[in-house]
Amino acid sequence: MPALIFFDIDKTLTSSKQPLTPEMAALLGQLLERTNVAIISGGAFAQFREQIINQLPHGVCLERLYILPTSGAALYTYRDGMWKPVYEEHLTDAQTIKIKDAIETAIRETSVIDLSVPSFGDRIELRGAQVTLSALGQQAPIAEKEAWDPDASKKRILRDAIAPMLPEFDVKTGGSTSIDVTLQGVNKAYGVRKVGELCSFLISDMLYIGDALYPGGNDEVVKETGIRTHQVKDPEDTMRVIQEILVR
Contacting residues toward Mg ion, per CB under 5 A: 8, 10-11, 211-212
Residue 92 phi/psi, 5° resolution?
-75, 165
Q: Quick count: other Cβ atoms within 10 Å of Cβ 29?
A: 17
Q: Name which of 172 and 194 has its Cβ closer to Mg ion.
A: 172
Beginning with the edge strand found earlier in the chain, give each strand of the sheet holding 124-126 in spatial order: 124-126, 130-134, 178-183, 169-173
CB of 221 to Mg ion, least distance (A): 12
Smallest gap, in angstroms, from Cβ of residue 104 to Mg ion? 26
Q: Which is nearer to Mg ion, 10 or 89 (CB)?
A: 10
Which helix (H) or strand (E) covers residue 109, if one does? helix 93-110
Q: What is the DSSP letter of 200?
A: T
Q: Which is nearer to Mg ion, 96 or 178 (CB)?
A: 178
By beta-carbon proximity to Mg ion, the closer residue of 8 and 180 is 8
Find the shortest distance in angstroms from Cβ 225 to Mg ion: 17
CB of 144 to Mg ion, least distance (A): 18
Cβ-Cβ contacts under 8 Å for 14 (sequence gap 6 or more): 20, 21, 24, 51, 235
Residues composing the chain: 248
Is residue 78 helix, strand or coil?
strand
Residue whose Cβ sits closest to Mg ion: 10
CB nearer to Mg ion: give 88 or 220: 220
What burial class does residue 111 get, using C-beta atoms within 10 Å of its C-beta: 0-12 exposed, 13-18 middle, 19+ buried?
A: exposed
Nearest approach in angstroms of CB 198 to Mg ion is 24
Work out how close the CB of 67 gets to Mg ion at its nearest, in angstroms, rounded to a whole number. 16
Helix runs in 132-221, H state only: 142-148, 153-162, 188-199
Q: Do the beta carbons of residue 186 and residue 71 sit within 8 Å?
A: yes
Pick 12 or 55: Cβ nearer Mg ion? 12
